[in-house]
Amino acid sequence: MKLLLGCSLIGMCYNEHMKKGLKKIAFILVWMLVIPVFVVGQVSFWQNISPLITVVNASSLGPDQGAISDVNSNISDVKKKLDKTTAALAKDQANLGKIQQSVGVTQKKISTTKAVITDTVVNISRKEQEIKNLNDQIALQQEVLKTFLQQAYYVQSKPTLNVLLSDENFSDLLSGSEHLSTLDGKIVSIISDINLKKSQVDQDKAQLAQAKQQNEQVLGATVATQQGLLADQADTQKSIADKQKSIDKLKKELSQLQGDLSTLLGKSYSAKNIMDAVSFASDKTGVPKGFLIGVLKMETNLGANVGGCTYGEVESGAQASYKAGKLGKTAWATFQSRRDTFKGICKELGIDYQKQKVSCNPKGYTGTGGAMGVAQFMPDTWNAYKSQVASITGNNPPSPWDLGDGVTAMALKLARVPGVTAGKTSAYKTAACAYLGTCYAPYINGILYWADNYKDLLN
Protein backbone atom coordinates (compact mmCIF):
# COMPACT_ATOMS: atom_id res chain seq x y z
CA MET A 1 0.00 0.00 0.00
CA LYS A 2 2.79 2.45 0.95
CA LEU A 3 4.56 1.63 -2.25
CA LEU A 4 1.42 2.22 -4.29
CA LEU A 5 0.67 5.45 -2.39
CA GLY A 6 4.22 6.70 -2.99
CA CYS A 7 3.99 5.96 -6.68
CA SER A 8 0.65 7.71 -6.84
CA LEU A 9 2.08 10.84 -5.19
CA ILE A 10 5.12 10.77 -7.46
CA GLY A 11 2.80 10.49 -10.46
CA MET A 12 0.79 13.47 -9.31
CA CYS A 13 3.93 15.61 -8.86
CA TYR A 14 5.17 14.49 -12.24
CA ASN A 15 1.86 15.46 -13.83
CA GLU A 16 2.01 18.93 -12.20
CA HIS A 17 5.52 19.53 -13.53
CA MET A 18 4.40 18.37 -16.94
CA LYS A 19 1.46 20.77 -16.89
CA LYS A 20 3.70 23.73 -15.98
CA GLY A 21 6.15 22.74 -18.67
CA LEU A 22 3.39 22.52 -21.24
CA LYS A 23 2.12 25.97 -20.25
CA LYS A 24 5.58 27.46 -20.80
CA ILE A 25 5.88 25.70 -24.14
CA ALA A 26 2.40 26.94 -25.13
CA PHE A 27 3.37 30.51 -24.14
CA ILE A 28 6.47 30.35 -26.33
CA LEU A 29 4.54 28.87 -29.26
CA VAL A 30 1.91 31.61 -29.00
CA TRP A 31 4.57 34.30 -29.39
CA MET A 32 6.47 32.47 -32.10
CA LEU A 33 3.53 31.46 -34.25
CA VAL A 34 0.42 33.48 -33.47
CA ILE A 35 0.98 37.09 -32.35
CA PRO A 36 2.42 39.34 -35.06
CA VAL A 37 3.19 43.00 -34.63
CA PHE A 38 1.55 45.45 -36.94
CA VAL A 39 1.99 49.00 -38.17
CA VAL A 40 -1.37 50.79 -38.39
CA GLY A 41 -2.65 51.02 -41.92
CA GLN A 42 -0.64 47.92 -42.96
CA VAL A 43 -1.87 44.35 -42.70
CA SER A 44 1.65 42.97 -42.96
CA PHE A 45 3.55 41.85 -39.85
CA TRP A 46 7.06 41.27 -38.68
CA GLN A 47 7.98 37.59 -38.71
CA ASN A 48 11.14 37.53 -36.65
CA ILE A 49 10.22 39.24 -33.36
CA SER A 50 11.50 37.30 -30.37
CA PRO A 51 8.60 36.16 -28.17
CA LEU A 52 10.62 36.43 -25.00
CA ILE A 53 12.03 39.96 -25.41
CA THR A 54 9.41 42.62 -24.85
CA VAL A 55 11.73 45.57 -24.51
CA VAL A 56 14.96 45.57 -26.50
CA ASN A 57 18.02 46.04 -24.33
CA ALA A 58 20.67 48.61 -25.19
CA SER A 59 23.21 45.91 -26.00
CA SER A 60 20.99 44.44 -28.71
CA LEU A 61 20.10 47.66 -30.49
CA GLY A 62 23.01 47.77 -32.89
CA PRO A 63 23.49 51.58 -33.12
CA ASP A 64 25.15 53.38 -30.23
CA GLN A 65 22.73 53.54 -27.34
CA GLY A 66 24.73 56.46 -25.98
CA ALA A 67 23.34 58.56 -28.83
CA ILE A 68 19.83 58.02 -27.49
CA SER A 69 20.95 58.98 -24.01
CA ASP A 70 22.59 62.15 -25.33
CA VAL A 71 19.53 63.15 -27.34
CA ASN A 72 17.21 62.46 -24.40
CA SER A 73 19.48 64.54 -22.16
CA ASN A 74 19.43 67.38 -24.68
CA ILE A 75 15.66 67.14 -24.96
CA SER A 76 15.38 67.39 -21.17
CA ASP A 77 17.65 70.46 -21.11
CA VAL A 78 15.76 72.18 -23.91
CA LYS A 79 12.42 71.47 -22.21
CA LYS A 80 13.72 73.05 -19.00
CA LYS A 81 14.88 76.13 -20.91
CA LEU A 82 11.57 76.23 -22.72
CA ASP A 83 9.60 76.04 -19.46
CA LYS A 84 11.77 78.74 -17.88
CA THR A 85 11.45 81.06 -20.88
CA THR A 86 7.72 80.42 -21.10
CA ALA A 87 7.33 81.33 -17.41
CA ALA A 88 9.37 84.51 -17.97
CA LEU A 89 7.20 85.34 -20.98
CA ALA A 90 4.05 84.93 -18.91
CA LYS A 91 5.51 87.27 -16.29
CA ASP A 92 6.34 89.87 -18.94
CA GLN A 93 2.87 89.58 -20.42
CA ALA A 94 1.30 90.11 -17.00
CA ASN A 95 3.57 93.11 -16.43
CA LEU A 96 2.66 94.47 -19.86
CA GLY A 97 -1.00 94.21 -18.93
CA LYS A 98 -0.41 96.32 -15.81
CA ILE A 99 1.61 98.89 -17.76
CA GLN A 100 -1.06 99.17 -20.43
CA GLN A 101 -3.67 99.63 -17.72
CA SER A 102 -1.58 102.45 -16.19
CA VAL A 103 -1.14 104.02 -19.62
CA GLY A 104 -4.89 103.99 -20.00
CA VAL A 105 -5.33 105.68 -16.60
CA THR A 106 -2.78 108.39 -17.43
CA GLN A 107 -4.34 108.94 -20.84
CA LYS A 108 -7.71 109.46 -19.21
CA LYS A 109 -6.16 111.89 -16.73
CA ILE A 110 -4.42 113.76 -19.56
CA SER A 111 -7.68 114.07 -21.47
CA THR A 112 -9.54 115.28 -18.36
CA THR A 113 -6.82 117.80 -17.48
CA LYS A 114 -6.70 119.15 -21.04
CA ALA A 115 -10.47 119.60 -20.95
CA VAL A 116 -10.21 121.49 -17.64
CA ILE A 117 -7.45 123.71 -19.05
CA THR A 118 -9.57 124.44 -22.14
CA ASP A 119 -12.55 125.37 -19.96
CA THR A 120 -10.31 127.55 -17.81
CA VAL A 121 -8.95 129.39 -20.85
CA VAL A 122 -12.53 130.00 -22.02
CA ASN A 123 -13.49 131.31 -18.58
CA ILE A 124 -10.42 133.57 -18.47
CA SER A 125 -11.34 134.95 -21.89
CA ARG A 126 -14.89 135.57 -20.67
CA LYS A 127 -13.61 137.38 -17.57
CA GLU A 128 -11.35 139.53 -19.72
CA GLN A 129 -14.37 140.49 -21.85
CA GLU A 130 -16.34 141.30 -18.69
CA ILE A 131 -13.49 143.54 -17.51
CA LYS A 132 -13.43 145.29 -20.89
CA ASN A 133 -17.21 145.84 -20.74
CA LEU A 134 -16.93 147.23 -17.22
CA ASN A 135 -14.10 149.54 -18.25
CA ASP A 136 -16.26 150.78 -21.15
CA GLN A 137 -19.13 151.42 -18.74
CA ILE A 138 -16.84 153.31 -16.37
CA ALA A 139 -15.50 155.42 -19.23
CA LEU A 140 -19.03 156.27 -20.39
CA GLN A 141 -20.18 157.17 -16.90
CA GLN A 142 -17.10 159.24 -16.43
CA GLU A 143 -17.93 161.28 -19.55
CA VAL A 144 -21.50 161.84 -18.37
CA LEU A 145 -20.26 162.78 -14.92
CA LYS A 146 -17.74 165.16 -16.40
CA THR A 147 -20.47 167.06 -18.24
CA PHE A 148 -22.65 167.30 -15.18
CA LEU A 149 -19.76 168.35 -13.01
CA GLN A 150 -18.91 171.12 -15.45
CA GLN A 151 -22.48 172.37 -15.34
CA ALA A 152 -22.56 172.13 -11.56
CA TYR A 153 -19.30 174.03 -11.33
CA TYR A 154 -20.69 176.72 -13.61
CA VAL A 155 -23.72 177.22 -11.40
CA GLN A 156 -21.75 177.12 -8.20
CA SER A 157 -19.17 179.61 -9.47
CA LYS A 158 -21.69 182.41 -10.30
CA PRO A 159 -21.91 185.22 -7.72
CA THR A 160 -25.23 185.44 -5.99
CA LEU A 161 -25.80 189.03 -7.16
CA ASN A 162 -25.31 188.09 -10.79
CA VAL A 163 -27.79 185.33 -10.36
CA LEU A 164 -30.32 187.67 -8.83
CA LEU A 165 -29.85 190.30 -11.57
CA SER A 166 -30.04 187.81 -14.38
CA ASP A 167 -33.10 186.77 -16.23
CA GLU A 168 -32.83 183.25 -14.90
CA ASN A 169 -35.41 182.03 -12.43
CA PHE A 170 -33.71 181.61 -9.07
CA SER A 171 -35.86 178.75 -7.98
CA ASP A 172 -35.09 176.91 -11.20
CA LEU A 173 -31.44 177.44 -10.64
CA LEU A 174 -31.62 176.06 -7.17
CA SER A 175 -33.65 173.08 -8.23
CA GLY A 176 -31.16 172.40 -11.02
CA SER A 177 -28.33 172.53 -8.56
CA GLU A 178 -30.06 170.09 -6.28
CA HIS A 179 -30.71 167.78 -9.22
CA LEU A 180 -27.05 167.87 -10.15
CA SER A 181 -26.09 167.07 -6.58
CA THR A 182 -28.39 164.06 -6.51
CA LEU A 183 -27.24 162.86 -9.94
CA ASP A 184 -23.65 163.31 -8.90
CA GLY A 185 -24.18 161.05 -5.94
CA LYS A 186 -25.80 158.37 -8.09
CA ILE A 187 -22.99 158.49 -10.59
CA VAL A 188 -20.41 158.13 -7.86
CA SER A 189 -22.35 155.14 -6.48
CA ILE A 190 -22.49 153.52 -9.91
CA ILE A 191 -18.79 154.05 -10.49
CA SER A 192 -18.04 152.60 -7.06
CA ASP A 193 -20.18 149.53 -7.86
CA ILE A 194 -18.49 149.11 -11.24
CA ASN A 195 -15.08 149.38 -9.64
CA LEU A 196 -16.10 146.74 -7.09
CA LYS A 197 -17.27 144.39 -9.88
CA LYS A 198 -14.10 145.08 -11.81
CA SER A 199 -12.04 144.18 -8.77
CA GLN A 200 -14.00 140.93 -8.32
CA VAL A 201 -13.60 140.03 -12.01
CA ASP A 202 -9.88 140.76 -11.79
CA GLN A 203 -9.67 138.46 -8.79
CA ASP A 204 -11.63 135.73 -10.60
CA LYS A 205 -9.36 136.10 -13.59
CA ALA A 206 -6.27 135.78 -11.39
CA GLN A 207 -7.69 132.64 -9.74
CA LEU A 208 -8.48 131.13 -13.12
CA ALA A 209 -4.99 131.91 -14.35
CA GLN A 210 -3.55 130.23 -11.26
CA ALA A 211 -5.79 127.20 -11.76
CA LYS A 212 -4.74 127.05 -15.40
CA GLN A 213 -1.08 127.11 -14.37
CA GLN A 214 -1.64 124.33 -11.81
CA ASN A 215 -3.49 122.18 -14.34
CA GLU A 216 -0.73 122.75 -16.87
CA GLN A 217 1.77 121.52 -14.27
CA VAL A 218 -0.42 118.47 -13.59
CA LEU A 219 -0.68 117.88 -17.34
CA GLY A 220 3.08 118.13 -17.75
CA ALA A 221 3.71 115.67 -14.91
CA THR A 222 1.06 113.26 -16.23
CA VAL A 223 2.46 113.41 -19.75
CA ALA A 224 5.94 112.72 -18.36
CA THR A 225 4.53 109.76 -16.40
CA GLN A 226 2.80 108.46 -19.50
CA GLN A 227 5.97 108.81 -21.56
CA GLY A 228 7.81 106.76 -18.93
CA LEU A 229 5.07 104.13 -19.02
CA LEU A 230 5.15 104.06 -22.81
CA ALA A 231 8.91 103.56 -22.68
CA ASP A 232 8.41 100.69 -20.19
CA GLN A 233 5.69 99.30 -22.44
CA ALA A 234 8.02 99.40 -25.45
CA ASP A 235 10.79 97.71 -23.45
CA THR A 236 8.40 95.04 -22.18
CA GLN A 237 7.00 94.44 -25.64
CA LYS A 238 10.54 94.04 -26.96
CA SER A 239 11.30 91.65 -24.11
CA ILE A 240 8.17 89.66 -24.95
CA ALA A 241 9.12 89.57 -28.63
CA ASP A 242 12.64 88.42 -27.75
CA LYS A 243 11.33 85.71 -25.42
CA GLN A 244 8.82 84.61 -28.05
CA LYS A 245 11.67 84.29 -30.54
CA SER A 246 13.62 82.28 -27.97
CA ILE A 247 10.60 80.05 -27.36
CA ASP A 248 10.12 79.51 -31.09
CA LYS A 249 13.81 78.70 -31.41
CA LEU A 250 13.68 76.30 -28.46
CA LYS A 251 10.57 74.63 -29.85
CA LYS A 252 12.30 74.19 -33.17
CA GLU A 253 15.38 72.82 -31.42
CA LEU A 254 13.19 70.49 -29.37
CA SER A 255 11.40 69.29 -32.47
CA GLN A 256 14.70 68.69 -34.22
CA LEU A 257 15.95 66.70 -31.25
CA GLN A 258 12.75 64.69 -31.23
CA GLY A 259 13.23 64.16 -34.93
CA ASP A 260 16.82 63.04 -34.27
CA LEU A 261 15.51 60.62 -31.68
CA SER A 262 12.97 59.24 -34.10
CA THR A 263 15.70 58.62 -36.70
CA LEU A 264 17.34 56.22 -34.25
CA LEU A 265 14.62 53.71 -34.99
CA GLY A 266 14.99 50.01 -34.44
CA LYS A 267 15.64 50.91 -30.83
CA SER A 268 13.01 50.56 -28.16
CA TYR A 269 12.19 53.08 -25.48
CA SER A 270 13.09 51.94 -22.00
CA ALA A 271 10.42 50.14 -20.03
CA LYS A 272 10.36 53.02 -17.54
CA ASN A 273 9.75 55.60 -20.28
CA ILE A 274 6.97 53.46 -21.71
CA MET A 275 5.28 52.95 -18.36
CA ASP A 276 5.62 56.64 -17.48
CA ALA A 277 3.96 57.65 -20.76
CA VAL A 278 1.26 54.99 -20.47
CA SER A 279 0.52 55.82 -16.83
CA PHE A 280 0.24 59.52 -17.66
CA ALA A 281 -2.09 58.92 -20.62
CA SER A 282 -4.16 56.45 -18.63
CA ASP A 283 -4.59 58.91 -15.75
CA LYS A 284 -5.66 61.68 -18.14
CA THR A 285 -8.03 59.68 -20.34
CA GLY A 286 -9.22 56.76 -18.20
CA VAL A 287 -8.05 54.13 -20.72
CA PRO A 288 -6.63 51.17 -18.73
CA LYS A 289 -2.87 50.84 -18.89
CA GLY A 290 -2.98 47.22 -20.04
CA PHE A 291 -5.07 48.07 -23.08
CA LEU A 292 -2.77 50.95 -24.00
CA ILE A 293 0.29 48.72 -23.71
CA GLY A 294 -1.41 46.07 -25.83
CA VAL A 295 -2.14 48.48 -28.65
CA LEU A 296 1.33 50.01 -28.33
CA LYS A 297 2.91 46.55 -28.54
CA MET A 298 0.96 45.49 -31.60
CA GLU A 299 1.37 48.83 -33.38
CA THR A 300 5.07 49.56 -32.93
CA ASN A 301 6.52 46.86 -30.68
CA LEU A 302 6.48 49.30 -27.75
CA GLY A 303 7.96 52.10 -29.82
CA ALA A 304 10.75 50.09 -31.41
CA ASN A 305 9.34 50.26 -34.94
CA VAL A 306 7.71 53.60 -35.65
CA GLY A 307 8.74 53.79 -39.29
CA GLY A 308 11.56 52.60 -41.50
CA CYS A 309 11.26 55.02 -44.44
CA THR A 310 11.72 58.72 -44.91
CA TYR A 311 8.68 60.61 -46.10
CA GLY A 312 10.57 61.43 -49.26
CA GLU A 313 10.78 57.71 -50.00
CA VAL A 314 7.09 57.26 -49.26
CA GLU A 315 6.22 60.21 -51.49
CA SER A 316 8.33 58.91 -54.42
CA GLY A 317 6.89 55.41 -54.04
CA ALA A 318 3.30 56.67 -53.95
CA GLN A 319 3.87 58.82 -57.03
CA ALA A 320 5.42 55.88 -58.90
CA SER A 321 2.47 53.66 -57.98
CA TYR A 322 0.03 56.30 -59.21
CA LYS A 323 1.85 56.73 -62.54
CA ALA A 324 1.95 52.94 -62.96
CA GLY A 325 -1.79 52.75 -62.41
CA LYS A 326 -1.47 50.78 -59.18
CA LEU A 327 -2.78 53.62 -57.06
CA GLY A 328 -6.23 54.97 -57.94
CA LYS A 329 -7.14 58.64 -58.33
CA THR A 330 -9.03 58.72 -55.04
CA ALA A 331 -6.14 57.13 -53.14
CA TRP A 332 -3.66 59.50 -54.82
CA ALA A 333 -5.81 62.52 -53.95
CA THR A 334 -6.00 61.30 -50.34
CA PHE A 335 -2.23 60.91 -50.24
CA GLN A 336 -1.70 64.44 -51.62
CA SER A 337 -4.04 65.88 -49.01
CA ARG A 338 -2.26 63.98 -46.24
CA ARG A 339 1.11 65.03 -47.66
CA ASP A 340 0.13 68.70 -47.38
CA THR A 341 -1.05 68.11 -43.82
CA PHE A 342 2.20 66.29 -43.03
CA LYS A 343 4.21 69.23 -44.39
CA GLY A 344 2.28 71.55 -42.08
CA ILE A 345 2.97 69.36 -39.05
CA CYS A 346 6.69 69.20 -39.84
CA LYS A 347 6.91 72.93 -40.54
CA GLU A 348 5.33 73.69 -37.18
CA LEU A 349 7.85 71.39 -35.49
CA GLY A 350 10.81 72.69 -37.49
CA ILE A 351 11.41 69.33 -39.21
CA ASP A 352 12.44 68.63 -42.80
CA TYR A 353 9.38 66.69 -43.95
CA GLN A 354 11.20 64.70 -46.62
CA LYS A 355 13.78 63.36 -44.14
CA GLN A 356 11.32 62.50 -41.38
CA LYS A 357 10.89 58.79 -40.65
CA VAL A 358 7.41 57.31 -41.11
CA SER A 359 5.89 53.94 -41.94
CA CYS A 360 6.82 52.61 -45.39
CA ASN A 361 4.47 52.02 -48.31
CA PRO A 362 3.00 48.53 -47.94
CA LYS A 363 4.31 45.78 -50.18
CA GLY A 364 1.57 43.23 -49.67
CA TYR A 365 -1.27 45.44 -50.93
CA THR A 366 -1.92 48.74 -52.71
CA GLY A 367 -1.69 51.72 -50.39
CA THR A 368 0.57 54.38 -49.02
CA GLY A 369 2.61 54.73 -45.85
CA GLY A 370 3.18 57.86 -43.80
CA ALA A 371 1.95 56.77 -40.36
CA MET A 372 3.73 58.73 -37.64
CA GLY A 373 5.28 57.89 -34.29
CA VAL A 374 4.25 55.41 -31.63
CA ALA A 375 0.54 56.01 -32.25
CA GLN A 376 1.03 55.44 -36.00
CA PHE A 377 -1.47 58.16 -36.82
CA MET A 378 -1.89 59.44 -40.34
CA PRO A 379 -1.41 63.25 -40.58
CA ASP A 380 -5.11 64.07 -40.83
CA THR A 381 -5.89 61.85 -37.84
CA TRP A 382 -3.11 63.48 -35.82
CA ASN A 383 -4.47 66.95 -36.54
CA ALA A 384 -7.87 65.86 -35.24
CA TYR A 385 -6.35 65.13 -31.82
CA LYS A 386 -3.49 67.64 -31.76
CA SER A 387 -5.19 70.37 -29.74
CA GLN A 388 -6.42 67.86 -27.13
CA VAL A 389 -2.93 66.39 -26.82
CA ALA A 390 -1.43 69.86 -26.35
CA SER A 391 -3.90 70.72 -23.59
CA ILE A 392 -3.07 67.48 -21.75
CA THR A 393 0.71 67.22 -22.15
CA GLY A 394 1.45 70.96 -22.26
CA ASN A 395 3.54 70.51 -25.41
CA ASN A 396 2.42 73.11 -27.90
CA PRO A 397 2.76 72.13 -30.63
CA PRO A 398 2.77 68.47 -29.68
CA SER A 399 4.83 66.02 -31.71
CA PRO A 400 3.63 62.63 -32.98
CA TRP A 401 7.24 61.45 -32.51
CA ASP A 402 7.26 62.35 -28.82
CA LEU A 403 6.50 59.26 -26.70
CA GLY A 404 4.24 61.11 -24.26
CA ASP A 405 2.34 63.01 -26.96
CA GLY A 406 1.97 59.89 -29.10
CA VAL A 407 0.65 57.64 -26.34
CA THR A 408 -1.73 60.39 -25.20
CA ALA A 409 -3.10 60.70 -28.74
CA MET A 410 -3.51 56.93 -28.89
CA ALA A 411 -5.41 56.94 -25.59
CA LEU A 412 -7.71 59.76 -26.73
CA LYS A 413 -8.66 57.82 -29.86
CA LEU A 414 -9.27 54.58 -27.95
CA ALA A 415 -11.27 56.37 -25.23
CA ARG A 416 -13.88 57.41 -27.80
CA VAL A 417 -15.27 53.85 -27.91
CA PRO A 418 -17.88 53.38 -25.16
CA GLY A 419 -16.84 50.84 -22.55
CA VAL A 420 -13.08 51.14 -23.06
CA THR A 421 -12.51 53.22 -19.96
CA ALA A 422 -14.62 50.70 -18.02
CA GLY A 423 -12.25 47.93 -19.12
CA LYS A 424 -14.82 45.91 -21.07
CA THR A 425 -13.31 43.24 -23.35
CA SER A 426 -16.01 43.74 -25.99
CA ALA A 427 -15.16 47.45 -26.09
CA TYR A 428 -11.45 46.60 -26.42
CA LYS A 429 -12.23 44.52 -29.51
CA THR A 430 -14.35 47.26 -31.06
CA ALA A 431 -11.71 49.91 -30.35
CA ALA A 432 -8.88 47.72 -31.67
CA CYS A 433 -10.77 47.07 -34.91
CA ALA A 434 -11.44 50.79 -35.33
CA TYR A 435 -7.81 51.64 -34.59
CA LEU A 436 -6.40 49.17 -37.16
CA GLY A 437 -9.18 49.78 -39.65
CA THR A 438 -10.02 46.09 -39.87
CA CYS A 439 -10.81 43.30 -37.44
CA TYR A 440 -7.75 41.13 -38.03
CA ALA A 441 -7.91 38.34 -35.43
CA PRO A 442 -4.19 37.95 -34.62
CA TYR A 443 -3.92 41.70 -34.07
CA ILE A 444 -6.99 41.81 -31.82
CA ASN A 445 -5.95 38.69 -29.88
CA GLY A 446 -2.45 40.03 -29.38
CA ILE A 447 -3.81 43.24 -27.87
CA LEU A 448 -6.13 41.35 -25.53
CA TYR A 449 -3.33 39.02 -24.45
CA TRP A 450 -1.06 41.95 -23.59
CA ALA A 451 -3.89 43.78 -21.85
CA ASP A 452 -4.33 40.80 -19.53
CA ASN A 453 -0.66 39.91 -19.02
CA TYR A 454 1.36 43.10 -19.45
CA LYS A 455 2.57 43.13 -15.83
CA ASP A 456 4.19 39.72 -16.17
CA LEU A 457 5.41 40.35 -19.72
CA LEU A 458 7.16 43.63 -18.90
CA ASN A 459 8.87 42.30 -15.77
Three-state secondary structure of the chain: CHHHHHHHHHHHHHHHHHHHHHHHHHHHHHHHHCCCCECCCCCCECCCCCCCCCCCCHHHCCCCHHHHHHHHHHHHHHHHHHHHHHHHHHHHHHHHHHHHHHHHHHHHHHHHHHHHHHHHHHHHHHHHHHHHHHHHHHHHHHHHHHHHHHHHHHHHHCCHHHHHHCCCCHHHHHHHHHHHHHHHHHHHHHHHHHHHHHHHHHHHHHHHHHHHHHHHHHHHHHHHHHHHHHHHHHHHHHHHHHHHHHHHHHHHHHHHHHHHHHHCCCCCCCHHHHHHHHHHHHHHHCCCHHHHHHHHHHHHCCCCCCCCEEHHHHHHHHHHHHHCCCCCHHHHHHHHHHHHHHHHHHHHHCCCCCCCEECCCCCCCCCCCCCECCCCECHHHHHHHHHHHHHHHCCCCCCCCCHHHHHHHHHHHHHCCCCCCCCCHHHHHHHHHHHHCCCCHHHHHHHHHHHHHHHHHHC
Enter the pTM of the model: 0.49
Q: What pLDDT is stored for residue 459 in this prediction? A: 60
The CA-based angle 291-303-247, given to 5 degrees, is 110
> What's the confidence (pLDDT) of residue 256?
65
CB-CB contact of 46 with 305 (8 Å)? yes
What pLDDT does 183 receive?
60
pLDDT in tens, the chain (459 residues): 333 333 433 344 434 444 444 444 444 444 444 444 333 333 333 322 222 223 333 333 334 445 556 666 777 787 788 888 888 888 888 888 888 888 888 888 888 888 888 888 888 888 778 777 877 777 776 676 667 666 656 655 555 445 444 554 545 544 555 555 666 666 677 777 777 877 877 788 788 888 878 888 888 888 888 888 888 888 888 888 988 888 877 777 776 666 565 554 444 566 678 889 999 999 999 999 999 999 998 888 877 777 889 999 999 999 999 999 999 999 999 999 999 999 999 999 888 899 888 999 988 777 899 999 999 999 999 999 999 999 999 998 999 998 999 999 999 999 999 999 999 999 999 999 999 888 999 999 999 998 988 887 776
Domains and CATH numbers, the chain: 88-259 (1.10.287)
- Contact between 271 and 124 under an 8 Å Cβ cutoff? The reply is no
